[in-house]
Structure 1
Amino acid sequence: MAVKEILKFGNPILKRVSKRVDNIDKEVINLVKDMKDTLYSTTGIGLAAPQIGILKRVILIDLRDDDEPIVLFNPVIAAKIGKDEDIEGCLSYPGYEGKVIRPKKVTVYGLNIKGEKVEYVAEGLLAKAFCHEIDHLDGVLYTDRARKMYKIEEE
C-alpha cells in the first residue's frame, strides 16, 4: 500500500480518543497494510492508527524478532501486574526518550485480522509496547507518563 506520514508531537489528533472498529472490511485491511509499510520504513517496533492520522482502535507491534507481527483491533488491557521503569521512545516524538513506569506483565485482548477474539499475556518489551500503543488509542502519549525526558544525543 503506502508509507504514511507519522504525526509528530504537538499534532492535536494524537491527543484524541480513537473509535472502535466494528467491521474488519477492506478499508481497515488497507489501513493495516499502510501501518505495516509505515512501521517497516522506520526502526520502531509499534504503531497505532492515530499516529498516521486515522482515529481507529488499531495497533501493530513487531518486536523484529522471529515472531509474527501483532495486529490488534479494539485492544483492551484486562490485567496489569507489577511495575517496571524503563526508557521509552516514540516515532511521533523523534530525538527524545523518557523514563516511564509500565506494568511488568499485562493481559491484553482484542480482535485479530480475521475478526477472532485473541488474548496475549505479555512481559518485558512486549508488555511495554502494548501499553504504549494502546495509550495512543486513548490520546495519551508516553510524554504524559514520563518521569523525566531526555534529548537523544547524536553520535
Structure 2
Amino acid sequence: MAIRPVITHPNEILTTKCTEVKAFDKKLATLLDDMYDTMIASDGIGLAAPQVGETMQIAIVDLGEGQEIIEMINPEVVEVGGSEIEIEGCLSFPDIYGEVERPFYVKVEAQDRDGALYELEAEDYEARAILHEIDHLHGVLFTTKIIRYVDLEELENEEEEA
C-alpha cells in the first residue's frame, strides 16, 4: 500500500471520462488499497481514480463511524430521488467549498474488487459523497455544480453550529 499524490485542478485528467475496468486482478486490488490510504492520509471521505492519476471507473467512499468502505468499480446510477443543497469540498480543489444541489437518494449498480455485481442504496450525506465520486469518473467537477461559493470562515462557523 502506498500514498499517492492527489491530482489538483487544473489538470486535464480530472475532466477525462474514465474507461471501464475489465481486469479484476492484483493490480486493481493494489490501486484500491492505495486509494484508500491516500484518501485517509488526505483527510477525505471519498476518492476517485482520476484523482490519483488513473482514468479508470473506480471510486471509494468511507464515511467512517464504523461504516463499511464502499468500493465502486464501473458504477452506474440507476435511480435518484429528492433534492438537497449542501456544502461540498474536494481533495482536488484545496480550500474551495460551495453549495451544491444533489439528489437526497441514490441507487447504484457497481462491481466490487472481485468483479461481483452489487446494488447499493444511499441517502443524505452518503448519497452526496457517492454521487460526487461518480461525477469524477465522468469528468464532471463539483465546481461546475456550485450554486454559491462558501469561504473557509463561513464553513468553519457552520461546522461549529452542527
User: Does the pair score TM above 0.5?
Assistant: yes
Aligned length: 155
Distance in 2 (alpha carbons) for counterparts of 1:10 and 1:152? 21
1:83-98 equivalences under 5 Å are 83-98=83-98
Q: Which residue of 2 aligns with 1:58?
A: 58
Distance in 2 (alpha carbons) for counterparts of 1:3 and 1:42? 9
SS at match of 1:76: strand
Distance in 2 (alpha carbons) for counterparts of 1:23 and 1:109? 18
- Is the CA contact 2:80–2:107 (under 8 Å) kept in the aligned structure 1? yes
Q: Which residue of 2 aligns with 1:80?
A: 80
Deviation at 1:150, TM superposition (A): 2.4
Which one-letter code corresponds to 2:22 in the other structure? D
Deviation at 1:151, TM superposition (A): 3.1
Q: Where do 4+ consecutive residues of structure 1 move more than 4 Å?
A: none
Please report the RMSD computed on the Cα atoms of aligned residues, expressed in angstroms: 1.3
Which one-letter code corresponds to 2:110 in the other structure? G
User: Please, what TM-score do these two structures have when normalized by structure 1?
Assistant: 0.96
| Alignment gaps of 5+ in structure 2 | 157-162
Structure with greater proportional helix content: 2
Deviation at 1:124, TM superposition (A): 0.7
Quick one: percent identity of the two aligned structures?
Answer: 39
Residues 55-84 of structure 1 deviation map (CA, whole Å, 9 limit, x = unaligned): 000011000111120111000110010111
Deviation at 1:114, TM superposition (A): 2.1
Distance in 2 (alpha carbons) for counterparts of 1:61 and 1:101? 19
Q: Which residue of 2 aligns with 1:16?
A: 16
Deviation at 1:44, TM superposition (A): 1.0
Which one-letter code corresponds to 2:90 in the other structure? C
- Is the CA contact 2:45–2:61 (under 8 Å) kept in the aligned structure 1? yes
1:41-52 equivalences under 5 Å are 41-52=41-52
| Alignment gaps of 5+ in structure 1 | none
User: Please, what TM-score do these two structures have when normalized by structure 2?
Assistant: 0.92
- Is the CA contact 2:25–2:114 (under 8 Å) kept in the aligned structure 1? no
